[in-house]
Amino acid sequence: MIKHRSIFKIDTRPEIVDLPSIKNRRKIDVRYPLIKPYAYAHIYWDEDNNELVYHVEEPHLKTSEKEILRLLLLALEEMINISYSVANKFNLILNYLEKNVQAILVELGTKVSKETYLKLMYYIFRNSIGLNRIEPLLHDYYIEDIECNGLDSPLYIVHRKYENLKTNIIYKDIQELTDFVEKLAQKTGRYVSYAKPLLDGTLPDGSRVNATYTQDVTTRGPTFTIRKFTKEPWTPVHLILSKTASADIFAYIWIAIEHKRNFIVIGETASGKTTFLNSILSFIPPEARVCSIEDTRELNLAHDNWMPSVTRTGYGIPNLMGKEYGEITLFDLLKESFRQNPDYVIVGEIRGKEAYVLFQGMASGHASFGTFHAGSVETLMRRLETPPINLSPSLIESLDIVCVMSHLKDSDKNIRRLKQLVEIQSKTQSSEKVQKNIPYEWDPVSDKILQKTELSLFSEISKDSGISIEELKNELSLRTKLLSQMAMMKMKDFKEINEIIKEYYIDKEKVLSRLNLI
């Protein structure tokens, strides 16, 4: 019996390298590790095609090594069945894999050098535990989105620093691409088939996946997009620093959340709704009971008393109610979570009949937040009032605040801004329509959010709680100062920021004096 040795080690935590901001894209030439020391990213200006490109560099295999790899993968497939859901037992799986590889090599009578062995192990890791050719991309802290538009078309990525980049990864073999989409489905625990060709799921690391399986849905064969899950969610401080919103906006939202006002964040696709929503969840009082409900996992909270839940797709033929066997919808989860008497309820994305339950919850005093796909408050109102959602104006009134996000594509920059902050007011006797007040609005000329009208929030909170408007204004200015100071200090750590907010709830003088603000 030959004792196996584990030689192959990789560090899967993405390294955050400090990348230079370079105005002139033609001058960019950076190389950094993705999976050390095997895979690297090389971003440079491609003179021939006049564009900035992202090349994944991996170890080169000689023809003979490729043949051994092929044999090994074939043999491994026969021998073992790796359950992809046990991602947290990473080292165990790697060890197990190595043991088998060494046994197969002995059986094949193949002797390889240590260098070859490590290269082979790298490819075996990335093709079995990992996501094959895109595995290195998943290790790049700077990548936000990965997009494959089908066969023979290079994958594109959205890079935090250098925006849209073409990669050197191209699927040329339909079988490879189809197998890959199947693997994506398997990893998300969902199911794709010719009969059910659309995939929408979450990878074990929280990244969101959309894919199409067949050729007739999209002409160039299977496609997929992966939106990477940034494990540390964006905080209010990040968003102040990126100018998405200002310290006083967050101070206002903080007070509103403390006083259990209801929020909806709206905007077009990828305008930053979920990111914004997640950031403001930090303001929920630390001891509150929070339930969140999503289709795919995106939200991340620091609260101890947080109960996240995710919907489940069913299978088989839908019953008379249009429901499949085993299916658990947002509607089901929402009804269930209200039974648990939460202080705050969050619905990742409001789309259909669950809106009714959510608004009922709002009306009965459970602070509720969510995102909704709509470009303007008018569209939101129309969609809420008309079928299939069909809410009555008196129910819609329970909504207090709408944040409107926008994604501006300025020449080559991706800019995301809070365009408006809208207060929903009670309808007056004379009007059938819901009234609104827009205290804050983004001014495109100065690129600043300006206060346009008086806040009606404070008079309402004052009426409900007895706290004077003066006192609330004072809180607004204190919290604005605190958040500005945190931004000045470039405090970006999710935990640290949440700790400070928590501390503020308990003993605000202590925090303010620690940060030299009083």
Ligand X SMILES: Nc1ncnc2c1ncn2[C@@H]1O[C@H](COP(=O)(O)OP(=O)(O)OP(=O)(O)O)[C@@H](O)[C@H]1O
- Smallest distance from ligand X to CB 204, Å: 19
Kindly state the DSSP code that residue 271 receives in the 8-state scheme: S
Q: Which is nearer to ligand X, 56 or 266 (CB)?
A: 266
Number of continuous H segments (helices) and E segments (strands) in the chain: 16, 18
Distance of CA 214 to the CA centre of its chain: 26
Contact positions with Mg ion (CB under 5 A) in 259-318: 273-274
- Smallest distance from ligand X to CB 412, Å: 14
- The 93-132 contact track toward ligand X, x by CB under 6 A, reads ----------------------------------------
Taking CB under 6 A as the criterion, the residue among 242, 386, 426, 474 binding ligand X is: 242
Contact positions with ligand X (CB under 6 A) in 14-53: none
Residue 294, contacted partner among ligand X, Mg ion, none, CB below 5-8 A by kind = none
Residue 416, contacted partner among ligand X, Mg ion, none, CB below 5-8 A by kind = ligand X
Residue 239, contacted partner among Mg ion, ligand X, none, CB below 5-8 A by kind = ligand X
Give the sign of the dihedral formed by CA 286, CA 303, CA 143, CA 265.
negative
Cα-based angle 399, 385, 388 (whole degrees, multiple of 5): 115
Q: Which is nearer to Mg ion, 342 or 348 (CB)?
A: 348
Q: Which is nearer to ligand X, 242 or 319 (CB)?
A: 242
- Residue 496 CB neighbour total at 10 angstroms: 13
- Smallest distance from Mg ion to CB 497, Å: 21
Contact positions with ligand X (CB under 6 A) in 300-339: none
Residues 6 or more apart whose CB falls under 8 angstroms from that of 469 comprise 458, 459, 462
- The answer to whether 150 and 221 are in contact (CB under 8 A) is yes
Q: Which helix (H) or strand (E) holds 485?
A: helix 469-488
Query: Binders of ligand X: how many residues, by CB under 6 A?
Result: 18
Q: Which is nearer to ligand X, 157 or 177 (CB)?
A: 157
- Smallest distance from ligand X to CB 270, Å: 4
Q: Which two tokens mark 17? A: 């390298």
- Smallest distance from ligand X to CB 222, Å: 20
For residues 24 and 194, give the distance between their C-alpha atoms in angstroms, rounded to a whole number: 46
For residues 382 and 373, give the distance between their C-alpha atoms in angstroms, rounded to a whole number: 12
- Residue 281 CB neighbour total at 10 angstroms: 23
Taking CB under 6 A as the criterion, the residue among 244, 246, 282, 406 binding ligand X is: 244
- Smallest distance from ligand X to CB 214, Å: 23
Contact positions with ligand X (CB under 6 A) in 143-202: 144-145
Residue 383, contacted partner among Mg ion, ligand X, none, CB below 5-8 A by kind = none
Distance of CA 469 to the CA centre of its chain: 37
Residue 292, contacted partner among Mg ion, ligand X, none, CB below 5-8 A by kind = none
- The 261-280 contact track toward ligand X, x by CB under 6 A, reads ------x-xxxxxxx-----
Give the CB-nearest residue to Mg ion. Answer: 274
137 binds ligand X (CB under 6 A): no
- Smallest distance from ligand X to CB 151, Å: 25
Task: Using alpha carbons, list the distances in angstroms from residue 507 to 30, 145, 247, 469, 514.
Answer: 46, 41, 20, 21, 11
For residues 87 and 510, give the distance between their C-alpha atoms in angstroms, rounded to a whole number: 42
Taking CB under 6 A as the criterion, the residue among 187, 297, 416, 419 binding ligand X is: 416
- 3-class DSSP string for 87-106: HHHHHHHHHHHHHHHHHHHH
- 3-class DSSP string for 176-244: HHHHHHHHHHHHHCCCCCCCCCEEEEECCCCCEEEEECCCCCCCCCCEEEEECCCCCCCCHHHHHHCCC
- Smallest distance from Mg ion to CB 368, Å: 16
Residue 310, contacted partner among Mg ion, ligand X, none, CB below 5-8 A by kind = none
Q: Which is nearer to ligand X, 478 or 491 (CB)?
A: 491
Q: Which is nearer to ligand X, 227 or 260 (CB)?
A: 227
Q: In what order do the strands lie in the sheet with 413-425?
A: 306-310, 290-294, 344-350, 367-373, 263-267, 401-410, 413-425, 435-443, 448-451
**Among residues 136, 184, 169, which one has the least CA distance to residue 10?**
136
Q: Which helix (H) or strand (E) holds 332?
A: helix 330-339
- Smallest distance from ligand X to CB 275, Å: 3
Query: Which residue is listed with tokens 């969510």?
Result: 370
Task: Using alpha carbons, list the distances in angstroms from residue 288 to 30, 71, 274.
Answer: 46, 56, 21
Q: Which is nearer to ligand X, 251 or 299 (CB)?
A: 299
Contact positions with Mg ion (CB under 5 A) in 143-202: none
- Smallest distance from ligand X to CB 208, Å: 8
- Smallest distance from ligand X to CB 156, Å: 13
Interacting residues with Mg ion (CB under 5 A)? 273-274
What residue ranges bind ligand X (CB under 6 A)? 144-145, 227, 239, 242, 244, 267, 269-275, 349, 371, 373, 416
